[in-house]
Amino acid sequence: MTSDDIRAFVKRDWALLERLEEDQRAESYRTLGWQASRKLALSLYDHALQVSPGFPQKDAQAEDLDHHIPVKRLIDRARHAITTR
């Protein structure tokens, strides 16, 4: 890797890349429906188990539950925004 490689990487059109990624997620949700969300959730759970084999710990579950409803509302808003594009 050269200095020019690093400069090119830093100067990338990050906004374009973000839009393309969002478009890909939207298309995935449109074609796979709720299965796309389930697949992502299972991937995150598998990762959590690799990082912390005892996951989920009981004390952490109570704290997570306090955040579940607001996060679910945000997910629902995002789903609506994605599916109405």
Q: How far is CA 49 from CA 8, 36, 57, in A?
A: 36, 20, 11
- pLDDT band per the 50, 70, 90 thresholds, residue 16: very high
- pLDDT band per the 50, 70, 90 thresholds, residue 13: very high
| Helix pair 34-51, 14-32: axis angle to 10 deg | 110
- pLDDT band per the 50, 70, 90 thresholds, residue 18: very high
Distance CA 59, CA 20 (A): 39
Domain of residue 15, residue span: 3-83
Flag whether pLDDT at 42 surpasses 90: yes
User: What residue has token string 């990338």?
Assistant: 12
Q: Tell me how many domains the chain contains.
A: 1
Dihedral angle over CA of 57, 59, 63, 69, nearest 10? 60
Q: What is the DSSP letter of 84?
A: T
